[in-house]
Structure formats: structure tokens, C-alpha cells
Amino acid sequence: MMMQIKNLRSKIGDKEILKGLDLELQKGKVHVIMGPNGAGKSTLSKTITGHYEVEVTEGDIVYKGESIVDMEPEERALRGIFMSFQNPIEVPGVTNAYFLRTAVNAKREYEGKKPLNAAEFLKLAREYANFLGMKPEMLNRSLNVGFSGGEKKRNEILQMLMLEPDLIILDEIDSGLDIDALKAVSEGINRLRSEERTYLIITHYNRILEYVKPDFIHVLKDGRVVKTGGADLVGVLEEHGYKAIEEER
Amino acid sequence: MSEEKKINEIVSKDYDLGFTVDIEEDTAPPGLNEDIIRFLSKKKGEPEWMTNMRIQAFHIWRKMEEPNWAHLKYEPVDYQSISYYAAPKKRPKSLDEVDPEILRAYEKLGIPLEEQKMLAGVAVDAVFDSVSVVTTFKEQLKEMGIIFCSISEAIRDYPELVQKYLFSVVPMSDNFFAALNSAVFTDGTFVYVPKGVRCPMELSTYFRINAQNTGQFERTLIVADEGSYVSYNEGCSAPTRDENQLHAAVVELIAMKDAEIKYSTIQNWYPGDEEGRGGIYNFVTKRGICAGENSKISWTQVETGSAITWKYPSCVLKGDNSVGEFYSVAITTKAQQADTGTKMIHIGKNTSSTIVSKGISAMKGQNSYRGLVKIQASAEGARNFSECDSLLIGDKCGAHTFPYLESRNASAQIEHEATTSKISDEQLFYLRQRGIDEEDAVSMIVHGFCKEVFGQLPMEFATEAKDLLNLTLEGSVG
């Protein structure tokens, strides 16, 4: 078991969004969260990563046997939880490479490993950038500043590859991508797949699922998981929409 | 704990660098009058012409009023309660007598032991390596004809040069604080680089160990003769010994034809507490003249300390094709106030100037950029580029921009860009989600913001400036 979410309630401001959500994420599996707008998909990823807007009012999130709801965002990240951002933020004057190396070495330090020196880091970063179809100059540019939508998403996947997280949350990684970028991003995602790693893919569309094969589909509606099924559930949703999903109780 | 509260803790780290040492002093009674000035001048063994200049400056100062146009609020200074001459007789004998907190700061900044002693004002014995290094430097400079000494020595040993250039860029009547400085300046630095000589090393006040108690009314004069080059670093990122609340320094730079002067400052004086109590008032007049054609003067400053900063390093671009530059990072936290910027006066043809100002405000800090670009009728083809960026941390601080522009020549090209941004919670969350802790995340964003200016600092100085910024932003995170 990678993560167990039990009766989770959380709110943003005064508005309760997650209303007693239960979810289990298995090691080595790809889980997909689908659901209508406003169901709480993004709030779920924010709650898992410890976003400053979210307040947990009830329930628990147990990750690798440890409750994480009271942890700072960086403590969760260092333990191997990664989230790709829908809108990666710009940080002027901080080069992509400097940021990445700081992040990678913070994690290595936490794991008791030797930090990567500049040469080791660059070798790895260039290889992954090339794999994702990114120009090597992208490493020297300010973090996300002036990046196109596709470049930002590829850059998120580059960070994922470098950090080798255990639980990878991909929040609408496929939105706004052309077919080439979608393929590159999907290849990046598949490259890290292993028996020890879990994916949680939040998406509106099923086109990314043609490249990244899911194991479980969870339908989120009004702050709760209302249905869980296999990959075939995608076809049902495609055909009948979310309205057709009846709560399994 | 809210994000903002945590950020405030990070940026408000106490200035644990302050310290006091009991010194036996040879002190003039408080107050300022002709007798005190004569006493001071005599103590320093000055020639009569210098004494007379000081007295002349004193009479000018008496008739002047303290300026109040800056965007600053502070208690008025009682100039008659200050003692204008205090020569320390005794220094701490060893680092054991120095506040361990200061030593901790030195350690963090990676300053070697012998240099720590100099900074802490410990009497340095002549056998120490650092001193012989200084002596070696001085010998090498002397062979090249470069004069690098205290202004007091220069008044004694090079009276012709001093009489020719002192007060030539900043006249004693220039402003209230410059007049005061002219009357009572204690010591400072003199540099002369002869024709065609490229000074082979960074000159630094820090290596001029013979005049250590120069803080309060420092006077600096740098002359770069035709075709010469010099880079001068004022201060050091480490906390230096300083017991005076009022500082009124004057710096004059003169660059002849084809000469270049690069002047870099790191200012890290006591900023006062969160209400602004006890901090240093820093009223500085810095001005350089590009006297000859193709000359260049470049000011770079990193201002992190002082309760009040009033400072406008300026360039008078008189020579045709001369170049003036101003690169500044000013950080105000707690109740610090800074009103700083530059003046670029274009007189010669095809003169150009660049202004890059980065203001960082946190807590109750107030940061103002005040800049004047003046293009005179004679300045055919003059160009200016100004960029003023402000970064706000939290919502109780302020950033203000007062750009003034006067152009009397239609061929001039002037560009001004200004931005104000905030460190956002979303930026911090993004970095923290990647495993970077909050303190490092704030520091990373601030460094990114200052990058352009740090790039202008001499390399070793830049490293110190970065360490200093981290030290300033250091604090406990919730």
C-alpha cells in the first residue's frame, strides 16, 4: 500500500470540498481520478501535498504507514510525494538548472546520499531534457519564465524524472498539449514506471490514457469517490458521461 | 502559522552582530564649534590650509538647513550632542574579548581568523601573515606609481593632489551633510592611479588597515588619471566595528580621459530593532565625474543595514562618450527606511548611463528609489536606460519610486522600466513541493531578483554579498 486516505474532509476558506473521501493507492499501480468540474479533483491533490489554502477538518492521509496531514509541504516532498502543477509558477532570475539541482540535492541529503556535483547533475539533466525533446538551453533559462504551455509541462516531467518520487500526482498534465508534447510527456511518465512507484493521474480527458495505461479508475463526485473500476470504466464514462455513474453503496 | 507570519520570521532575523566594547578614549567634548574643529585638525597633525578649509566648511554648514524632502521619517539629530573626535586608544586584545555572536557571523561568512581580528578591531601584531600580505600589496602598488593610503596621510604626503581634487566633485557647500563632513571628517581613503596604469588588484578599505576608526565621517577621494583603471571595494560584508549612530560620508571620484573607476559597496550596519530604535542613520554623498572623454564610472551597491539610508551615488558625464552606471540592491526589513537612487547628469556628447535598481521590502520596511536623469542641451546623442524593480514580502512594507527626468536635448534617448512584484504564496509552495525548505525558497526567489546587480560585483564580493543576504534572511521557520 502506498497511500490510504480515510474519511477525508477538507475545506478551502469556508467551503468544504472533500466530504469524507476514501481512497487507496496501490504500489506499482496507475490510478486515475476523473470527475466533473467542481468535484474536488484539484483539492484532493492540494490536500495530499499540503497546499496553504487547504485545511483538513477530519480524516487522515497515511503515506507509507505514516500520517502526513500535519506535515509541511517540503517534508511530504522529501518523503517522495511529487505533484505536477497545472500552471507551473515563474521565478525570475533563478535558472532552471539551479532550481533543479537544489531540489535534487535537498532530497539526496534527506536520503543520506552524497549531493550531485555540477557535472554529474548536468549530465543527467541534459539526458532527460533530450529524452523529453527539450532544448538544452532550457536548463539555463529562468524557471518557467517565458516558457510555452508545452514547455512548462515538459519541464514538470523533467523535474519528476530528476527527483524519482515514489508517489507521483499528475494534475491535468495533459491539458493544452499538442500531440507531440503529449507523447513526450507520456514517455517521460512511462519511463519511471516501476513496481515500487504509484501514479495518481487527474484528468478531464482520456487521451493521455491511450499512452499511459491505467490500472484503476476512480470517479470523484461532490467530494467523494463514488465509483472505482478498471480501465474499462473509461469507455463507460466516454459513452454515458458522469451522470450515468451511480454511487456504489 | 500563516505563511506571512513565517516569512516575517525569516526576514526579521535579529541583527546579532551588534556589540559594545569599553574603550578608553581621547575624546573631544560634545558639540561643534571652531575650537573643536581646530582641536580635531591639530590632533590629526594637519597643515594650516586643511584647518582653514574645515573652518570654512563649518561656517557654510551652520547656515544650511537639514534636508527633509526624502521619503524618510526619523527623530531629528542633535548635532551639538555628538562628540566629533574620539581616537580609540585601546582595542580588544584578542578575539576572546569579541562577542561570540559576531564571531559566529564571521564564521558563516567564511572569513579567515586573522582577517576576523582586523574586522573586530583587534590590534593586529605585525608578524601576522595578513599584515605582511598588506605590506606586499602596498609595495607592489607603489612600484606601479599607485597611491593607496588614508586621506590623512595623503593630506600630509600629497598635498598638491589633495588640494587639487578634494571638494572638486562634491563642494563643501553641496548639501547639509556634505558640509558637515567637510568640517569634521575623521579619515578615509585616498587613491591615485597614474596615467595608463591598470590597477592589478581590487583595492579595498579592508586592506587599508592603518586607519580603522574612520566610520562616522569618512572621506574618500579616488583619482584615475588618463587611460587608467581601478576597482575599489568599500567595506566588507562582515559586521565592522561601529559605535556611531550618525554617519555622513562623502566620496568623490574623478575619471580622466579613457579612465575607468568601478566602485562597489556592501553596507551592513546595525539596522535598529523592529521599531527602528538604535539603528544607524546613514547620510552619504557619493559623486563621480567622468571628466575626460571615453571615461567610465560604475557604482554598485548592496545596502542591507542602517535604520535610515539617504544615498544617491551619482555620475557627472562631462567627457564626450563617457559612461555612467548605477547598480543597486537595497533591502529594508523591520522598520528600516531607505531613500536611495542616483543622479546621472549628461553634459558631454554621446554620453550614456544605465540605472538598475532592485528594492526589497519586508515587514515594515520602506524602500524608495529616487533618481534623476538630466540631459543638458550640450549632450547631443545622450542615452539613458533605467530599470527600477521592487519586491515586496508581506503586506506591511512599502516600495516607492520617484524618477525625475529633465531633458534639454531632443536627440536624447531615455528609457524607463519599473516593476513591482510580491513573493507569492504560490511561488513558495511550488518550491517547497519540490523539497526546498521555506527559508531556502525565500532566499532563492530574492537572489533571483537581485541577480543582475550581483553580476556586477567583483567575484569575491559577490559571494560575500550572497552569503550576507542569506544571513539577513535567516530565521527560524515554524
Query: Closest to B435 (Cβ–Cβ): which among A52, A107, A142?
Result: A107
* Pair B362, B304: CB distance under 8 Å: no
pLDDT at B240 over 60: no
Cβ contacts of A49 within 8 Å, gap of 6 or more: A73, A76, A77, A81, A83, A169, B433
**pLDDT tens, position by position, A11-25:** 999 999 999 999 999
Query: Closest to A89 (Cβ–Cβ): which among B430, B437, B447?
Result: B430
**CATH code for the domain in which residue A196 is found:** 3.40.50.300
Domain count along chain A? 1
Q: What residues are paired with A95 via a beta bridge?
A: A142
Confidence of residue B87 (pLDDT cuts 50, 70, 90): low
Interface test with B, best of A74, A84, A141, A160 (most B CBs within 10 A): A74
pTM of the entire predicted model: 0.79
Average pLDDT over residues B33-59: 89
Q: Is B293 on the interface with A (CB under 8 A)?
A: no
| Residue in the block written with cell 484539484 | A42
How many CB atoms sit inside 10 A of residue A27's CB? 15
A67 found inside a domain: yes
CB contact under 8 A, B435 and A106: yes
d(CA B133, CA B138): 9
In chain A, what residues touch B424 (CB-CB under 8 Å)?
89
Interface test with A, best of B420, B430, B449, B454 (most A CBs within 10 A): B430
pLDDT at B16 over 50: no
* Pair A236, A244: CB distance under 8 Å: yes
CB contact under 8 A, A99 and B424: no
Cβ contacts of B39 within 8 Å, gap of 6 or more: B28, B85
Residue type, A229: G
Total residues found in chain A within this entry: 249
Helix (H, G, I), strand (E, B) or coil at B351: coil
Pairing of strands A81-84, A167-171: parallel
Best mean pLDDT range from A101-115, B137-151, B387-401, B451-465: A101-115
Q: Tell me what pLDDT residue A121 has.
A: 93
CB contact under 8 A, B426 and A159: no
CB contact under 8 A, A93 and B447: yes
d(CA B341, CA A230): 65
Query: Closest to B3 (Cβ–Cβ): which among A52, A102, A143?
Result: A52
Cβ contacts of B407 within 8 Å, gap of 6 or more: B373, B374, B375, B414
Q: Tell me what pLDDT residue A36 has.
A: 87
Q: Is B444 on the interface with A (CB under 8 A)?
A: yes
Mean pLDDT of chain B: 80
**pLDDT tens, position by position, B91-142:** 566 667 666 666 666 666 666 666 666 555 554 433 333 444 455 677 788 8
A249 found inside a domain: no
CB contact under 8 A, B435 and A77: yes
d(CA B298, CA A100): 34
Pairing of strands A54-63, A66-67: antiparallel
Pairing of strands B260-267, B296-303: parallel
User: Residue A171: phi, psi to the nearest 5?
Assistant: -90, 100
Instruction: Give the residue from B255, B212, B252 showing the smallest Cα distance to B235.
Output: B212
Helix (H, G, I), strand (E, B) or coil at A234: helix
Mean pLDDT of chain A: 91
A161 found inside a domain: yes
pLDDT at B461 over 60: yes
| Residue in the block written with cell 499512452 | A211
Domain that holds residue A117: 3-244
ipTM of the complex in this document: 0.95
Interface test with A, best of B6, B429, B446, B453 (most A CBs within 10 A): B429
E strands of A49-120, at which residues? 54-63, 66-67, 81-84, 91-95
Query: Closest to B436 (Cβ–Cβ): which among A85, A89, A106?
Result: A106
pLDDT at B360 over 70: yes
**pLDDT tens, position by position, A172-230:** 898 888 889 899 999 999 999 999 999 999 988 778 888 999 999 999 999 999 999 99
